[in-house]
Structure 1
Amino acid sequence: MAHDIVFFLASDEETAAATYLGAPGRAFESVTCHFIEPDSVIVEWDMYSAAPSAEIPPPDQLNRWPWPNEVIEPENDGVEIFALPPRLARALARASSAELAELADRWTTRLRTADGDNMTDDGLLAVLQEVARLAASVLSTGGGLYSWSF
């Protein structure tokens, strides 16, 4: 089941966890993406940051990759909060425009393969560029990059 994701900056995991019931809202610098699985997109981006390639990883390789840490134990209400790995935040912050475009193309192709016409209408390159901007803020101000989804 796909979710709406809000990628956001928070000073620490405790602050990120406090968004549980109300979402990050306007109190946090954020970017939203619709109808995407949060944990698999984080894994997709992390795999790319470790070994950039336009090739889509096979599902079994994606499933063997370390999955993101949950900030809080999930309840039965569908809310999930994940911490993006610091190495991913660094990679996104330092990525060139060409690398972001290649990753966005790879991500789009994987989503189309999995979801067909039901994939998000969001401009995935624009989302990725905004998340990279947030990641750059993490490097300059500290804290972490998180995802909140429902």
Structure 2
Amino acid sequence: MSTIIKFFVAPDHAAAAAVVDVGPDDFFESLTFGNFDAEGALIEWESIFTGQTFEDLVAADVPKVVADPGEGEGPVVLAASRALQDALTVADEQRLVEVSRVWVAERSADGEVFDEGIALWILSGLADLLCAIGRKPQSLYCWSA
């Protein structure tokens, strides 16, 4: 089964949730990826960047589900936490490389094969997307279907 993942920036949860049925492409700048667990990745990335445990982040409801009309059976929109957004915004290339390596190692420990170059490409793309919005009041969201 193939999964389409689109990370995008939107001004608020309501605007992000409004695209759950159609995806963000026609409304917001987005980056498209595929075939990984986006919700798990958001948690793992934040854990690696901040040092919080995976379990603590899940208990804190990270990432926040903004829209899930199919209750897990269709497209969903998730909101990345402010801590993850801030970490991606200030991360330099070396930090992104470090986080990519740790994430790939964690995926490998769970039996999933993930290329370090692709992991770095994803995280660098997200960092670039966040840096491009600058001080605009927008946040990072993830749409997947």
Settle same-fold status: TM greater than 0.5: yes
Where 2:84 maps in the other structure, the secondary structure is helix
Mapped partners of 1:113, 1:5: distance in 2: 23
Identity across the alignment (%) = 26
Q: Which runs of 4+ in 1 moved over 6 A?
A: none
> Does residue 80 of structure 2 align to residue 84 of structure 1?
yes
3-state SS of 2:22 partner: coil
- SS of equivalent residue, structure 1 residue 78: coil
What is the one-letter code of the residue matched to 1:149? S
- 1:49 matched residue in structure 2: 49
- Partner of 1:104, secondary structure, is helix
Note closer, same or farther for the CA distance 1:139–1:89 as it changes in structure 2 (3 Å cut). Answer: farther
The letter for the 1-side match of 2:135 is S
Relative to the length of structure 1, the TM-score reads 0.81
2:88–2:127 Cα contact (<8 Å) kept: yes
Secondary structure (helix, strand or coil) at the match of 1:82 reads: strand
TM-score normalized by structure 2? 0.84
Q: Name the CA shift for 1:124/1:131 in 2 (closer, same or farther; >3 Å).
A: same
> Using a 3 Å threshold, how does the CA distance of structure 1 residues 125 and 141 change in structure 2: closer, same or farther?
same
Q: Does the alignment pair 1:70 with 2:62? A: no
State the match for 1:25 in structure 2. Answer: 25
Aligned pair 1:128/2:123, yes or no?
yes
How has the CA–CA distance of structure 1 residues 141 and 90 changed in structure 2, closer, same or farther, with 3 Å as cutoff? same
Inter-partner Cα distance in structure 2 for 1:2 and 1:106: 24
How many residue pairs get aligned? The number is 141
Is there any run of 5+ residues in structure 1 with no aligned partner, and where? 52-56
Counterpart in 2 of 1:141? 136
Quote how far apart the aligned CAs of 1:116 are: 3.2
RMSD: 2.4
Report SS of the residue matched to 2:142.
Answer: strand
Alpha-carbon deviation of 1:113? Answer: 2.6
Q: Kindly provide the amino acid, as one letter, of the partner of residue 88 in structure 2.
A: L
Question: What are the equivalent positions in structure 2 for 1:101-112 lying under 5 Å apart?
Answer: 101-112=97-108
